Amino acid sequence: MKPDFEKLMKEHNVHGMILNNNGIINALEKSYELGKLESEEKYNKLKNTFLDLLDNWGDFGNYNLDKNQMKEEWKQEGGLL
């Protein structure tokens, strides 16, 4: 969900001296998109690491279930399903 940048600017612009509201809103939007992209990249890295862990753990047979059942349970627990 994308925040309402105009509302945010109005709430936090206590001095009222910003001359170019559109420029500030554009900067806020760009900052938001960059932060969102960085978060997605970090999430994907973590997700891929988790999936590799599932594969490696299952290969060693350190789980009382078969490999596929263990992977499915961990994916569900991790919110990947």
Q: What is the mean pLDDT of residues 73-80?
A: 76
The pLDDT of residue 63 is above 60: no
Domain ranges of the chain: 5-77
* Residue 60, pLDDT above cutoff 70: no
- Between CA 52 and CA 64, with CA 58 as vertex, the angle to 5 degrees is 145
Using alpha carbons, list the distances in angstroms from residue 31 to 9, 25, 27, 44, 74: 13, 10, 6, 20, 34
- Alpha-carbon distance of 20 to 40, in angstroms, equals 31
Q: Is the pLDDT of residue 62 over 90?
A: no
**Counting every residue, how long is the chain?**
81
Return the residue matching tokens 């109005």: 10
Tens digit of pLDDT for each residue in 3-35?
A: 887 787 777 766 666 567 777 888 888 889 989
- Token readout for 67 is 């490999």
pTM for the predicted model, two decimal places: 0.53
